[in-house]
Amino acid sequence: MFGDNILVAPKLNSYSQVAYLPYQAEWYNFNTKLFWTECSPVSGVWPVMEMPVFYRAGSILPILLHENALSLLRAINNDIALEIYPTSKG
C-alpha cells in the first residue's frame, strides 16, 4: 500500500495474472479505471513491465500534471488534477 488509497499488487512471476485485493474496500483499476466490486482474487492480464495498481473507492487523489517536465522542480508549479473514485453507494 502507498498511503491509504493506492495498492500495488505484487506479481509473483513475470506471467502472473492474478492480484489479491483486501475484502474491506472496493477498488478501481489504475489503467482502465474499471470498478472492481468483487475483491480478492482479481484476475486480469497485465503486460510483463506493468504492475497491477488499484485505487480505493471513496478516495480523491491529486495528480500533478507534468507533461514535458523532466524534473520535479520544473513541474512543481504546474496544475493538478483531482481524480475522484466514488464508492458503489455514491
1 domain-assigned: no
Helix spans in the chain (H): 72-75
Tell me which DSSP letter residue 74 carries.
Answer: H
**pTM of structure:** 0.72
Partners of 63 in the beta sheet? 81
80 close to 63: Cβ distance less than 8 angstroms: yes
Q: What is the pLDDT of residues 4-38, one digit of tens each?
A: 899 888 776 666 666 777 777 888 988 888 887 76
Q: Is residue 75 part of a domain?
A: yes
Domain range for 44 is 6-85
Residue 50: give its domain's CATH number.
2.60.40
Please check whether residue 47 lies inside any domain of the structure: yes
Q: For residues 32 and 47, give the distance between their C-alpha atoms in angstroms, rounded to a whole number.
A: 13
> Does residue 29 fall inside a structural domain?
yes
**Total number of domains in the chain:** 1
Task: Specify which residues 29 forms β-bridges with.
Answer: 54
